[in-house]
């Protein structure tokens, strides 16, 4: 049991460093926070957390090795993720200045997405990121012992999913504080366009990604 606690600490530490690093997940939660507010950003954060369970599931089943060992399957995930991020980027680049009425209402991104749509946005942003795929495959291959019971490994996964969702819910909470959001709203369309460039940069980064 002591070895499992040590293993869990290593898994949690590696995951903490990964989730705190700026990436597509952070960018999408930031975008949703500024454009649509706390409710939408929170549902997006929960979607990101749920996608962790997908990565954990195929890692436990050994299906992740198929992606890591196959250039074809890796490229399928890679180009799907790049296309999705590029689409978000283009939509953001098309942002236009909002009227004073829209600024007062606090919505700079058009119609507010439903909870399901916001959840799906977060889920797809993480699930289609092949770098996240490789991280979890490597995590379970390098840190987690094959002798560790699958139930305990699943517990590691549940922790990472909850920790991810909690972290991005905190990000959503911080960036939807009235004073913070008011500052962003003054330049809402420019921030959207900057995030659009960021998303396109992430898309290019995925296209250039290679199996190691």
Tens digits of residue pLDDT in 143-177? 888 788 889 989 999 999 999 999 999 999 998 98
pTM for this entry: 0.78
The tokens describing 48, both together, are 């990101």
Mean pLDDT over the full length of the chain: 81
Q: How confident is the model at residue 64 (pLDDT cuts 50, 70, 90)?
A: low
Asked if pLDDT for residue 2 goes beyond 70, the answer is no
Handedness of CA 182, 92, 26, 33 (dihedral sign): positive
**Averaged over 114-137, what is the pLDDT?**
90
pLDDT in tens, 25-38: 999 999 899 888 89
Q: Characterise 97 by phi-psi region: left (phi > 0), alpha (psi -120 to 50), beta (else).
A: beta
Q: How far apart are CA 49 and CA 169, in angstroms?
A: 10
Q: Is 114 exposed, middle or buried (0-12, 13-18, 19+ CB in 10 A)?
A: exposed
């Amino acid at each position: 049991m002591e070895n499992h606690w040590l293993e869990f600490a290593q898994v949690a530490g590696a995951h903490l460093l990964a989730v705190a690093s700026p990436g597509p997940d952070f960018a999408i939660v930031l975008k949703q926070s500024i454009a649509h507010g706390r409710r939408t950003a929170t549902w997006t954060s929960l979607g990101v957390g749920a996608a962790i369970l997908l990565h954990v599931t195929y890692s436990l089943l050994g299906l992740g090795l198929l992606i890591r060992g196959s250039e074809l399957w890796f490229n399928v995930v890679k180009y799907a993720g790049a296309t999705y991020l590029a689409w978000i980027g283009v939509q953001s680049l098309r942002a236009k200045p909002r009227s004073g009425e829209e600024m007062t209402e606090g919505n700079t991104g058009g119609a507010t997405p439903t909870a399901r749509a916001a959840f799906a946005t977060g889920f797809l942003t993480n699930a289609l990121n092949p770098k996240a795929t490789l991280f979890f495959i490597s995590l379970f291959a390098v840190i987690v012992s094959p002798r560790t019971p699958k139930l305990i490994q699943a517990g590691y996964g549940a922790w990472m999913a909850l920790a991810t969702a909690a972290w991005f819910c905190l990000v959503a909470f911080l960036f939807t504080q009235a004073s913070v959001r008011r500052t962003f709203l003054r330049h809402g369309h420019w921030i959207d366009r900057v995030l659009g460039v960021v998303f396109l940069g992430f898309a290019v980064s995925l296209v250039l990604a290679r199996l190691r």
